[in-house]
Amino acid sequence: MTVPNPETPSAAPAPSDFIRDIVAQHVAEGRYSKIVTRFPPEPNGYLHIGHAKSICLNFGIARENNGQCNLRMDDTNPTKEDVEYVESIIQDVKWLVAGWADHCLGFKPKGRVPQLQSVNGASDYFLPAVCPSAQNSDELEPFFASDYFQQIYEYAVALIRKGKAYVCDLSPEDTDKYRGTPDTPGKDSPYRNRSVEENLSLFERMKAGEFPNGARSLRAKINMAAPNIWLRDPVLYRIRHAEHHHTGNAWCIYPMYDFAHCLSDYLEGVTHSICTLEFEVHRPLYDWILEELGLARPLPHQYEFAKLIPTFMIVSKRKLIQLVDDKIVSGWDDPRMPTISGLRRRGVPASALRAFVTGLGVTKFNSVTDIAVLEHAIREELNKSALRRLAVLRPIKAVITNIAPDQAIELDAVNNPEDPNAGSRKLRFTRELFIESDDFMETPPPKYFRLRPGGEVRLKYAFIIKCDEVVKDASGKVVEVRCSADLDSRTGGPTASRKVKGTIHWVSATEAIDAEVRLYDRLFDTAEPDADGDFKKHINPHSLEVVTAKLEPSLANASSDLRYQFERLAYFTLDPDSRPGKPVFNRTITLKDAWAPPKK
């Protein structure tokens, strides 16, 4: 059975942007034998919605060009990284890409490191990818920059031999001072002109662990007066006596991002290295390193785009960590978090996330994306796929006085009006019901077309009822409404077509099940929570409200693989906290509500 995939090129035009234009041109020129991109997170936090944009760009380009996109841990800083993050990243990427670009997901055999090969007579390291959908993925793993430490070390030695790198004894503080500022040139390190032999020996001793952290570094010898700060003899290697999550204690010197990244791209045969705008000024260094090394195969090139900044969210790993550590949220996967795992738990389908980010486009303009665009993408997807169910979040009792206490009337209810194949189910109508407290008002404002004393309303899939009597408790609060049903008005009945303005949802009080329902809302109450640098001041106090709701009985068998629309309310998904007989539902997003009750 093949279901038309709305994301296939035939159904929707492939996205176009300045990076895809460049790739298309390279394909036309036959510049590379295969288009290879990569998604290279540092495992020092969970992936968030901003990463989703990068993932969709990199995997999208791979997919559109029969290429591949390698997942690579950019793990060159042992003091900040952890396997917990490695595992969450793998899970999140697989989830986002599943059924869309998993055939392009580049992994490698476990433990495999770059192999020496001969290219045009030159020896050359290379580590090709395999794509897991075609292989046994238990034997595969993502790429790790740390798997290349030996090769990267050898490249450093090659640079030293060329006189293009030197060991510097300046302390980190002095290195800063010598660097100058953006508008004043730096000055040469006193160690800049050491002999190749001395550099080789010192670098070897750095590797052997003879020096403490910070005592020496390996630096590229470029130009201390360069207008671009990153060309002022940047540090290539630093000493870090620390255990690494992937390489253990094998190394005490670790390459810096700039040195490791371009070489990792090269080793994997990456053709297009796509990153965010802040790396633009690093590009000359990226190119310098690869060019100086005289490598055998075609070189990768770096392209930059503007990252995603959504309103009502913060997208900074450092700040996200604070939300977790300060227990403002329950964890990285709290459904209010902008993390991929949070969005997943919230009930956002991967396809909606993909549709959202691809609809954004790719440019170099620093923009702010209205959260409404994300919400629209979620509703659009869920409207097509969610099963409709009846549920009452804040119940008040409605007694239908002309139904006998032991009577139960079976009714048909459509599962999804947008999808005829979703079928229908039976609902049982009884004398005692619950209706939404919002759906009854004793003294309603104008244009309120729900239930009121003496008024009529249709109960969805059932009868038109009339409110005859209102029962209040001692404090005057309405606790029950007593109504009579027009028994001819059920679907298909003689008076079914009677015009009644309002239709409300209901559940049988005698048959409904209880469930914990978590009503999530935006985590922040202002569009740009970090604009004043103090995002914690702007936490929305109503970002989570928990209610015990009354659900139609079929929801006892809800599946965590499915999405539900509680009619007239919102979309929901089952939370992993659910236990047999004790379901927990998360509100993904409300339905749009064009009715604005008059404000007092």
Partner RNA sequence: UGCCCGAUGGUGUAAUGGUAGCACAAACGACUCUGACUCGUUUUGUCUAGGUUCGAGUCCUAGUCGGGCAGCCA
* Cα angle for residues 412, 416, 419 (degrees, 5° grid): 125
Q: Which is nearer to RNA, 132 or 317 (CB)?
A: 317
* Cα angle for residues 132, 574, 506 (degrees, 5° grid): 145
Strands 235-239, 253-255: pairing kind: antiparallel
Residues of span 257-316 touching RNA by CB under 7 A = 257-258, 260-261, 277-282, 306
Distance CA 186, CA 229 (A): 9
Minimum CB distance to RNA, residue 582 (Å): 26
Residue 506 engages RNA in binding (rule: CB under 7 A): no
568 backbone dihedrals φ, ψ, rounded to 5°: 70, 0
Q: Is the dihedral of CA 136, 139, 142, 148 positive or negative?
A: negative
Minimum CB distance to RNA, residue 14 (Å): 13
Which range in 154-162, 171-179, 333-341, 551-559 contacts RNA by CB under 7 A?
171-179
Strands 513-520, 395-400: pairing kind: unpaired
Residue 568 engages RNA in binding (rule: CB under 7 A): yes
Distance CA 503, CA 568 (A): 9
Joined together, the tokens standing for residue 148 give 């290349």
Helix 283-292 × helix 257-267 angle, to 10°: 60
Strands 513-520, 456-459: pairing kind: unpaired
Residue 243 engages RNA in binding (rule: CB under 7 A): no
What are 570's strand-pairing partners? 566, 590
Q: What is the largest CA-CA distance in the chain?
A: 101
Which range in 193-201, 366-374, 400-408, 468-476 contacts RNA by CB under 7 A?
366-374
Residue 33 engages RNA in binding (rule: CB under 7 A): no
Residues of span 452-471 touching RNA by CB under 7 A = 458, 460-462
Q: Which is nearer to RNA, 49 or 362 (CB)?
A: 362
Minimum CB distance to RNA, residue 257 (Å): 3
Q: Which is nearer to RNA, 476 or 598 (CB)?
A: 598
Q: Which residue has the tokens 């060991």?
A: 167
Out of 17, 287, 480, 521, which residue is the one contacting RNA (CB under 7 A)?
Answer: 17
Residue 488 engages RNA in binding (rule: CB under 7 A): no
The number of residues that bind RNA (CB under 7 A) is 96
Out of 8, 9, 12, 16, which residue is the one contacting RNA (CB under 7 A)?
Answer: 16
Residue 422 engages RNA in binding (rule: CB under 7 A): no
- Whether 333 contacts 345, CB under 8 Å: yes
| SS3 (DSSP) at 72 | strand
Q: Which is nearer to RNA, 280 or 468 (CB)?
A: 280
Helix 83-97 × helix 350-360 angle, to 10°: 80
Residue 57 engages RNA in binding (rule: CB under 7 A): no
| SS3 (DSSP) at 248 | strand
Out of 13, 30, 121, 417, which residue is the one contacting RNA (CB under 7 A)?
Answer: 417
Distance CA 353, CA 377 (A): 7
Residue 398 engages RNA in binding (rule: CB under 7 A): no
Q: Which is nearer to RNA, 11 or 365 (CB)?
A: 365
Residue 558 engages RNA in binding (rule: CB under 7 A): no
> Cα 497 to chain center, whole Å?
46
CA terminus-to-terminus distance, the chain = 55
DSSP state of 418: T
Q: Which is nearer to RNA, 280 or 516 (CB)?
A: 280
Minimum CB distance to RNA, residue 229 (Å): 4
Minimum CB distance to RNA, residue 54 (Å): 12
Minimum CB distance to RNA, residue 50 (Å): 13
Residue 502 engages RNA in binding (rule: CB under 7 A): yes
Residue 25 engages RNA in binding (rule: CB under 7 A): no
Residue 363 engages RNA in binding (rule: CB under 7 A): yes
Minimum CB distance to RNA, residue 327 (Å): 25
Which range in 169-177, 334-342, 344-352, 553-561 contacts RNA by CB under 7 A?
169-177
Residue 448 engages RNA in binding (rule: CB under 7 A): yes
CA atoms within 13 A on the CB side of 454: 3
Q: Which is nearer to RNA, 131 or 149 (CB)?
A: 149
What element of type H or E holds 19? helix 18-29
Which range in 59-67, 167-175, 394-402, 528-536 contacts RNA by CB under 7 A?
167-175
Minimum CB distance to RNA, residue 47 (Å): 12
Joined together, the tokens standing for residue 388 give 């409709």
CA atoms within 13 A on the CB side of 440: 30
Residue 484 engages RNA in binding (rule: CB under 7 A): no
Minimum CB distance to RNA, residue 308 (Å): 9
Distances (CA, A) of 268 to 56, 68, 325: 20, 11, 36
Distance CA 404, CA 293 (A): 88
Residue 359 engages RNA in binding (rule: CB under 7 A): yes
Out of 54, 565, 586, 588, which residue is the one contacting RNA (CB under 7 A)?
Answer: 565
Minimum CB distance to RNA, residue 335 (Å): 21
Minimum CB distance to RNA, residue 141 (Å): 18
Joined together, the tokens standing for residue 77 give 């800083």
Joined together, the tokens standing for residue 495 give 């008076």
Out of 33, 118, 123, 181, which residue is the one contacting RNA (CB under 7 A)?
Answer: 181
Residue 46 engages RNA in binding (rule: CB under 7 A): no
What element of type H or E holds 399? strand 395-400
Residue 131 engages RNA in binding (rule: CB under 7 A): no
Q: Which is nearer to RNA, 124 or 528 (CB)?
A: 528
Residues of span 93-122 touching RNA by CB under 7 A = none
Distances (CA, A) of 26 to 19, 21, 22, 33, 220: 11, 9, 6, 10, 31
Neighbours of 143 (CB within 10 A): 24
| SS3 (DSSP) at 254 | strand
Out of 22, 328, 409, 496, which residue is the one contacting RNA (CB under 7 A)?
Answer: 496
Contact track, RNA, 203-242, x by CB under 7 A: ----------xxxxx---------xxxx---xx--xxx--
